[in-house]
Amino acid sequence: MNEMYRIRMMLRLITVLCVLVLFRPAAVLAMPEVTGARIGTHPDSTRLVLELSEPVPYQLFTLDKPYRVVVDFPEVRWRARHNPMRASTGLVSGFRFGLFQSDNSRVVLETNVPTFVSKHFILEAEDGNPTRFVLDLQETNRAAFAPGKMIQSSGWKSVVQRRARAPSARRPASPGRHVIVLDPGHGGVDPGTIGVTGAYEKKITLAIAREAKRLFEATGRYRVVLTRTRDVYIRLRDRFEIAHRNKAELFLSLHADSIRDRKIQGGSVYTLSNRASDKEAATLAARENKSDIIAGADLSGYAPEVSEILIDLAQGATNKESWFLAEMMVKELGRRTKLLRNSHRFAGFAVLKSPNVPSVLLELGYLSNRTDEKKLSNPAYRTRIARAMLQAIDKYFERKIKLRKS
Ligand SMILES: [Zn+2]
């Protein structure tokens, strides 16, 4: 009897397991993976090979200024051990990979000369070799170079349709709470600065934003919206449009830059101006403004405006508010962290161009400096930064309320 019972229980368990394996819900099904990546040179071409867990549709196009080849896939997970992020092989002078938007992973190959895609195909897995995506690049001349020309594999259309159907997130109302938009710089295909020992700016900015959201919301005084909550690229203009859509009262963009002199450390606070406070600030703004170019996003029609730093300063009141917020940030961050000597600087950051939301950009330290990189990689230090930011916005709103009463 006892034996029978045990056998029956075993059979039942096996049935349950079979059902689970056979009828996994769609969401549990694994995302396609890139398991290997390599770039090789051939006599007249440069070849990119991505090893994949399964065949995926793709789209590719070229861009100029600088010359690039962009390859789009549905969202795929990068599991390749070799990361050719800083590789320079054959015609390819730079390689980037990351999420470009929801359900769209992107590879950007930079080239020093104009090129064209001479071959592209998916090789099905066989003889112990995995599925592979293969792309051959050949040099061409400026006259024959065709930027923006799209090539799409079969199946790409269904990816686009699926993306269009995806529901957009609803946001809850927040009566009585100030809405703050925190903007973790970079993300996805745009890594931002990569530190001396390999820390990624895009990861550090997201970690600080998350910690700040936690602290700010714990006070009950603020609702915090992040421009991104994961490792995804967001266009510069979309970042401040998120502030508008959410009727934000403040916009804070978070960054951690690098500089040639590795001894320099400390943070700084930036507000918008059409005339940079110094050469360094101008260089920094130019670099931060390149985000859309790095991600291969300048097909959208507004890139020239973003890359040229022409700012309409018909935003006097907003500028004054931004200025005051920046001063508060300098004071509070200066108490708890190391800042550069001229802590409050200004330059033409595209992400600060919002005409009616006071906006400040924080460079929280230099990833080119070992000490700063170590600090910013430490959660306790990030909490300290978030506390200082909270103190500063508290002071900002205290003053605003006082001004309203008087
Ligand atoms: Zn940055």
> Cα(10) to centroid of ligand 1, in Å?
57
Task: Please name the helix (run of DSSP H) or strand (run of DSSP E) that holds residue 261, with its range, or none.
Answer: none
Domain assignment of residue 48, yes or no: yes
DSSP, res 256: E
> Cα(192) to centroid of ligand 1, in Å?
5
- Judge whether 346 and 273 are in contact, CB under 8 Å: yes
319-364 per-position pLDDT tens digit: 889 999 999 999 999 999 999 888 899 888 888 887 788 999 999 9
> Cα(315) to centroid of ligand 1, in Å?
24
Q: Based on the fold, state whether residues 260 and 139 are members of the same structural domain.
A: no
Domain assignment of residue 23, yes or no: no
Q: Based on the fold, state whether residues 136 and 185 are members of the same structural domain.
A: no
Return phi, psi of residue 354, to 5°: -60, 125
> Cα(134) to centroid of ligand 1, in Å?
32
In the chain, the amino acid numbered 358 is: P
- In whole angstroms, what is the distance from residue 87 CA to residue 39 CA? 9
Written as one string, the DSSP assignment of 267-314 is EEEEEE-SS-SSHHHHHHHHHHTTHHHHTT-TTSS-HHHHHTT-----
Interacting residues of 270 by C-beta distance below 8 A, sequence separation 6+ = 281, 284, 285, 326, 344, 345, 346, 347, 349, 352, 360, 361, 362, 363
> Cα(5) to centroid of ligand 1, in Å?
64
- How many Cα atoms occupy the beta-carbon half-sphere of 97 within 13 Å? 21
8-61 per-position pLDDT tens digit: 777 676 665 555 555 544 444 679 999 999 898 898 999 999 999 999 999 999
> Cα(199) to centroid of ligand 1, in Å?
13
**pLDDT value of position 300:** 45
> Cα(257) to centroid of ligand 1, in Å?
5
> Cα(265) to centroid of ligand 1, in Å?
15
- In whole angstroms, what is the distance from residue 393 CA to residue 400 CA? 10
Domain that holds residue 215: 178-405
Domain assignment of residue 2, yes or no: no
**pLDDT value of position 78:** 87
> Cα(291) to centroid of ligand 1, in Å?
8
Could you read off the pLDDT tens digit of each residue along the chain, which spans 406 residues? 567 777 777 767 666 555 555 554 444 467 999 999 989 889 899 999 999 999 999 999 988 888 999 999 999 998 887 665 566 788 999 888 888 888 889 999 999 899 999 999 999 999 999 999 999 999 999 888 888 788 899 888 888 888 777 765 555 566 789 999 999 999 999 999 999 999 999 999 999 999 999 999 999 999 999 999 999 999 988 898 899 889 899 999 999 998 888 999 999 999 988 788 888 888 888 888 888 888 877 544 443 443 333 334 435 678 889 999 999 999 999 999 999 888 899 888 888 887 788 999 999 999 999 999 999 999 999 999 999 999 999 999 999 888 877 7
DSSP, res 126: B
Domain assignment of residue 159, yes or no: no
| pTM for this entry | 0.76
Q: Based on the fold, state whether residues 229 and 336 are members of the same structural domain.
A: yes
Q: Based on the fold, state whether residues 43 and 95 are members of the same structural domain.
A: yes
Interacting residues of 106 by C-beta distance below 8 A, sequence separation 6+ = 70, 71, 72, 73, 97, 98, 99, 100, 188, 189, 233, 295, 296
- In whole angstroms, what is the distance from residue 83 CA to residue 340 CA? 34
Q: Based on the fold, state whether residues 323 and 191 are members of the same structural domain.
A: yes
> Any idea what the CATH number is for the domain that residue 394 is in?
3.40.630.40
- In whole angstroms, what is the distance from residue 358 CA to residue 397 CA? 12
Domain assignment of residue 24, yes or no: no
